[in-house]
Amino acid sequence: MSELKQSRPKGTQDFVPPDSERRRQVEAAFRHLAACYGYREIITPTFEHTAVFVKSSGEGSDVVTKEMYSFKDRAERDLTLRPEGTPGVVRAALENRLRLPCRLYYVGPFFRYGRPQKGRFREFGQVGVEALGEASPLVDAEIIYFGADFFRRLGISDCTVQVNSIGCRTCRPAYRETLRKSLFDQKERLCADCLVRLERNPLRVFDCKVETCRQAVQDAPTPRQHLCADCERHHEQVLSALTRRGLRHAANDRLVRGLDYYNRTTFEYLSTSLGAQDSLGGGGRYDYLVEDFGGPPTPGVGVAIGLERTLLAAPVAPAPARRHLAFVIWLTEAERAAAQELADRLRTDGIAAQVDYDARKVKGQFRSADAAEATCCIIIGPDELAKSVYSLKDLATGEQREVASDVLVEAVRALFRD
Ligand code: AMP
């Protein structure tokens, strides 16, 4: 092949059949499961006003400071391709005055300017659910269980769940100061970014991947040790609800997740098969986010799951549903119009049909049928046209027989049945 003039942008992917179909299968499995738990789909824009993310995800978060695709449109508006789902969903729920409580799910593309590697892309798919207006710790547990249920149904058996609590408005300010003091004492171990984080929001130091910063937080006090009585009770109830459901989970006292809006429960799903990017998904509670957007005090909790990593971790990606296609073949120019009419008739009956109008020779049409991975060919020649019959060839067995026009649909359906 000569050198191509264009290639896809770094960090993006093409999904060609059958991979595109496998991906849609995973999305369909997600939609089905989300609906089983009472969630309904919300579709929001792929770009939002930049403030939607800065105000919610947090000015100090890596997603906002380093990874956003932000731009000015032609009218000088500050816009950003969405790097995550929750802020847009909350914004839309308020703007559309949805009745609370409400359970919403989403499926779609997200954008982050990170360094591409296995399981990390600049455009990636996420599926997620958000429960708005539900405060019970049983909801946190149900959402954690929901994600695990999704992975289990896809056959991902090496998935583990880590859970933590990062406190609330009552206990966090004092903890933040304790943490700041502790990290300040070790500030020679912190990277330049973390020195800024120390001032803005020292919890973000837990997200840092730099080895010396990781060591610093190893020795620092954890949010879990500083929960108020209400947060402690909430957390105990989440954990005992998970245990009651038989979901194995591990405590990770340093799991704060990279976004500023979380309070109390945070959780993450990990898979050993993914290498460095081992997080399949994660989420948490965000009881102040709706208020931050100008809404009434409304608790919230949600989870986001990465599609690419889910596909990588699934042992056998779910097979796409067997696709069937009838290829209509015309022998001479005189039957070309009849071939098109037959294809239309089949489509009216819900049978996928295709015609190669370009091929000059029958052999070329058979080649096209092969490339399209057709199930069968329906051949129309002068004899067939005269007798009002068709020759039906099963491409799996090579068997060919004449079929009367009035029973053709039935005969094709019989070949499509598997
Ligand atoms: P986060 O809320 O950042 O933890 O993202 C939730 C999930 O989305 C992660 O666990 C990943 O599975 C997926 N994800 C996040 N960023 C990327 C990316 N750049 N490329 C692929 N998947 C991603």
Q: Looking at residues 114-129, what average pLDDT do you find?
A: 96
Residue 317: pLDDT band with limits 50, 70, 90: low
- How high is the pLDDT of residue 276? 82
pLDDT at site 318: 60
* CATH number assigned to the domain covering 19-155+283-313: 3.30.930.10
* Sheet bearing 159-165, strands edge to edge: 40-41, 102-111, 123-132, 300-306, 279-285, 263-271, 159-165, 250-251
Pocket test for ligand 1, best of 82, 160, 279 (most atoms within 8 A of CB): 279
Terminal Cα distance for the chain, rounded: 37
Mean pLDDT of 115-128: 96
Mean local confidence (pLDDT), 87-109: 97
The pLDDT score that the predictor gives to residue 65 is 82
Tokens of 337: 């119009």
282 lines ligand 1 (CB under 6 A): yes
Q: What is the mean pLDDT of residues 29-34?
A: 96
* Segment 403-416, tens digit of pLDDT: 999 999 999 999 99
What was the pLDDT predicted at 398?
Answer: 96
* pTM assigned to the model: 0.91
What would the two tokens of residue 169 be?
């408005």
Residue 209 predicted with pLDDT over 90: no
Ligand 1 pocket member 109 (CB < 6 A): no
In 10-146, beta strands by DSSP E:
40-41, 47-49, 69-72, 78-81, 102-111, 123-132
CB contact at 8 A, 108 and 125: yes
Cα–Cα distance list, 390 to 328, 399, 401 (Å): 10, 14, 8
Q: Is the CB of 85 under 6 A from ligand 1?
A: no
CB 208 within 8 A of CB 147: no
The answer, yes or no, to whether residue 31 has pLDDT greater than 80, is yes
- Residue identified by tokens 């209400």 is 230
**Whether the predicted pLDDT of 1 surpasses 80:** no
Does the CB atom of residue 121 touch ligand 1 within 6 A? Answer: yes
Q: Report percent pLDDT > 90 for the chain.
A: 83
User: Above 90 in pLDDT, residue 260?
Assistant: no
Name the residue ranges covered by the structural domains of the chain: 19-155+283-313, 326-417
pLDDT band with cut points at 50, 70 and 90 for residue 29: very high
CB of 303 shorter than 6 A to ligand 1: no
Query: Which residues, including other chains, have CB under 8 Å from residue 385's CB and lie 6 or more apart?
Result: 334, 335, 338
Amino acid found at 6: Q
Ligand 1 centroid, distance to 11 Cα (angstroms): 13
72 C-alpha to center of ligand 1: Å? 25
Q: Residue 94 has what pLDDT?
A: 97
Residue with tokens 């909790």: 301
User: ∠311-312-315 over CA atoms, to 5°?
Assistant: 85
Instruction: Give me the mean pLDDT over the 141-153 stretch.
Output: 97
Centre a 10 Å sphere on the Cβ of residue 397 and count the other Cβ atoms it contains. Answer: 9
Q: Are 25 and 321 in contact (CB under 8 A)?
A: yes
Q: Is 281 in the pocket of ligand 1 (CB under 6 A)?
A: yes
- Average of pLDDT values for 383-401? 95
Task: Output 418 or 25, whichever has higher pLDDT.
Answer: 25
Distance 282 CA to ligand 1 centre (A): 8
Contact 274, 315 (CB under 8 A): no
Q: Please tell me if the CB atom of residue 171 comes closer than 6 angstroms to any atom of ligand 1.
A: no
Q: Which of 140, 160, 177 is nearest to 263 (CA)?
A: 140
State pLDDT tens for residues 318-344.
666 788 999 999 999 999 999 999 999
Q: Is the per-residue pLDDT at 59 higher than 80? A: no
Query: Each residue of 264-292: pLDDT tens digit?
Result: 999 999 999 888 888 999 999 999 999 99
> What are the Cα distances from residue 415, in Å, to 301, 328, 348, 371, 405?
48, 15, 18, 19, 16
Residue 112 Cβ inside 6 Å of ligand 1? The answer reads yes
How far apart are the CA of 306 and the centre of ligand 1, in A?
5
Residue 19, token pair as written in the block:
């991979």
- Alpha carbon of 328 to ligand 1 centroid (Å): 45
Nearest CA to ligand 1 atom 15: 306
298 band by pLDDT with thresholds 50, 70 and 90: very high
17 CA to centre of ligand 1 in angstroms: 24
Q: Which fold has domain 326-417?
A: Rossmann fold (3.40.50)
Are 92 and 65 in contact by the 8 Å Cβ rule? The answer is no
Q: Which atom of ligand 1 is nearest to the CA of 269?
A: 10
With a 6 Å cutoff on the Cβ, whether 270 touches ligand 1 is no
pLDDT digits (tens, 9 = 90+) for 361-382: 999 999 999 999 999 999 999 9
> Ligand 1: does its nearest atom lie under 6 Å from the Cβ of 151?
no
- Take atom 12 of ligand 1 and give the residue whose Cα is closest: 306
- Per-residue pLDDT, 273: 87
User: Using a 6 Å cutoff on CB, does residue 280 contact ligand 1?
Assistant: yes
Measure the CA angle with vertex 388, ends 382 and 391; round to 5°: 70
* Residue 348: exposure state from Cβ atoms within 10 A (0-12, 13-18, ≥19): exposed
**How far apart are the C-alpha atoms of 256 and 33, rounded to whole Å?**
27
Of the residues 120, 204, 266, 307, which should be mutated to test ligand 1's pocket, given the most ligand atoms within 8 Å of the CB?
120
Q: How far is the CA of 129 from the centre of ligand 1 (A)?
A: 14
Pocket test for ligand 1, best of 308, 311, 312 (most atoms within 8 A of CB): 308
Residue 249 CB–ligand 1 contact under 6 Å: no
Q: What is the mean pLDDT of residues 286-307?
A: 96
Closest approach atom of ligand 1 to CA 114: 19
Burial letters 147-156, b for 16+ CB under 10 A, else e: bbbbbeebeb
Residue 221 has pLDDT above 70, yes or no: yes
Beta-strand pair 263-271/159-165: antiparallel
pLDDT score of 316 more than 80? no
Cα of 112 to ligand 1 centre, how many Å?
9
Q: Whose CA is nearest to atom 14 of ligand 1?
A: 306
pLDDT confidence of 397, banded at 50, 70, 90? very high
The dihedrals phi and psi of 394, each to the nearest 5 degrees, come to: -80, 115
Distance 267 CA to ligand 1 centre (A): 13
Q: What percent of the chain has pLDDT over 70?
A: 99
